[in-house]
Amino acid sequence: MKQGKIVSGMRPTGKMHLGHLHGALLNWKHLQETYHCYYFIADWHALTSEYAHPDIIRESTYDIIIDWISVGLDPEVSTFFIQSDIKEHAELYVLFSMITPLPWLERNPTYKEQLRELTQRDLYTYGFLGYPVLQAADILMYKANGVPVGEDQAPHVELTREIARRFNHLYGEVFPVPDVLLTPMSKLLGMDRRKMSKSYGNAIFLTDSDQEIDRKVGQMITDPQRARKDDPGDPDVCNVFSFHEIYTEAEKVREIKAACPAARIGCVGCKKIMAESLKKGLEPVRAKRKELESNMDKVKDIMADGNGRARAAARDTMEAVREAVKI
């Protein structure tokens, strides 16, 4: 018997890459086995920063859903839905906004960091300040017990916990106080050894072609101490080797681990082997994606079904909420 509920979402602001796969997605897949999971597309959250160019939101929503299914998230086991299709989230967000003190939002470290870093956009909006209040509505709507997120999102879930406590204190016990389930960071770095990210231009996407994978793997920085082929290398600091550990067969990985520090293998050859393993590893994901892309009606049905299940849960929660708030 599954115990407990999980809610997590992704903002549809572009394609999924290997950092997402080995960070959030495989973790989500794993959680499916032990929890009732609600996974959703946070399109209103995307709008808080992309309001001036919303096209990307529509474009990436179905891209992401297809990726979810292609990597093995199962829409029959988990409930997939699209945030903006469940209007109850907006209602709960309004109610939470009445009880959320402004300083809780203003002192949020993720908020402050994003204002500092995302300088190309004007983020001094009411919607962006209220981002975590909407997130609290997403989470508490399904009475989640746990929320799997990366470290940057932990302050938002902390705020959700405070909002849940405050609501329960004011109106009676309606919501469980959910735990933060920190997602371990993906070990796979981008081609330049920084964290893999679309905005750094260093990512390998699930949709990349064989040629793109060959080109990107060719550009990857290996052990930075290894300038020439006869210098010894250190697999432990080499990002190419991290990919081998996931995608290359174990015996070959052992060989490389021994050959690299003895300079018996060069980085160019080593990368070729890795690119082959990676392409092979992604093959089933691609095949599944192709199948789904040629059957978009089925994908739409899947989402209609998920939305229906989410809506039913949301309606129940909102009945209890309205009763509690007496409005």
Q: Which residues bind ligand TRP (CB under 6 A)?
A: 7-11, 42, 45, 135, 138-139, 147, 149, 153
CB of 271 to ligand SF4, least distance (A): 6
226 scored as a contact of ligand SF4 (CB under 6 A): yes
- With CA atoms as reference, report the closest residue to 139 among 149, 129, 151: 149
235 binds, options ligand SF4, ligand TRP, none, Cβ within 5 to 8 A by partner type = ligand SF4
256 scored as a contact of ligand SF4 (CB under 6 A): yes
Stretch that binds ligand SF4, among 87-95, 111-119, 266-274, 315-323 (CB under 6 A): 266-274
Query: Residue 93 or 241: which CB sits closer to ligand TRP?
Result: 93
Q: Cβ distance 30 to 63 under 8 Å?
A: no
Rounded CA separation 1/162 (Å): 29
149 binds, options ligand TRP, ligand SF4, none, Cβ within 5 to 8 A by partner type = ligand TRP
Site for ligand SF4 (CB under 6 A): which residue of 222, 242, 248, 317?
Answer: 222
Phi, psi of 273, deg, nearest 5? -60, -45
- With CA atoms as reference, report the closest residue to 5 among 131, 184, 169, 179: 179
Query: Residue 146 or 233: which CB sits closer to ligand SF4?
Result: 233
- With CA atoms as reference, report the closest residue to 267 among 302, 300, 241: 241
Stretch that binds ligand SF4, among 6-14, 56-64, 99-107, 265-273 (CB under 6 A): 265-273
Task: Find the binding residues for ligand SF4 in span 65-94 (CB under 6 A).
Answer: none
Site for ligand SF4 (CB under 6 A): which residue of 6, 41, 270, 303?
Answer: 270
DSSP 195: B
Quick one: tokens of 2? 């599954």
320 binds, options ligand TRP, ligand SF4, none, Cβ within 5 to 8 A by partner type = none
240 binds, options ligand TRP, ligand SF4, none, Cβ within 5 to 8 A by partner type = ligand SF4
Q: Parallel, antiparallel, or unpaired for β 36-41 and 79-82?
A: parallel
Residue 143's identity, in one-letter code, is K
Stretch that binds ligand SF4, among 100-108, 197-205, 236-244, 279-287 (CB under 6 A): 236-244
Residues touching ligand SF4, count (CB under 6 A): 14
Quick one: tokens of 249? 């067969």
CB of 19 to ligand SF4, least distance (A): 19
Helix residue spans in the chain (DSSP H): 18-20, 26-31, 43-50, 55-70, 88-99, 102-106, 109-117, 126-129, 131-141, 154-171, 210-219, 239-247, 250-259, 267-293, 296-325
22 scored as a contact of ligand SF4 (CB under 6 A): no
Quick one: tokens of 1? 């018997």
Give whole-number Cα distances, 75 to 28, 35, 65, 103, 131, in Å. Answer: 12, 14, 10, 39, 27
154 binds, options ligand SF4, ligand TRP, none, Cβ within 5 to 8 A by partner type = none
Q: Give contact residues for ligand SF4 (rule: CB under 6 A).
A: 222-223, 226, 233, 235, 238, 240-241, 256, 260, 265, 267, 270-271
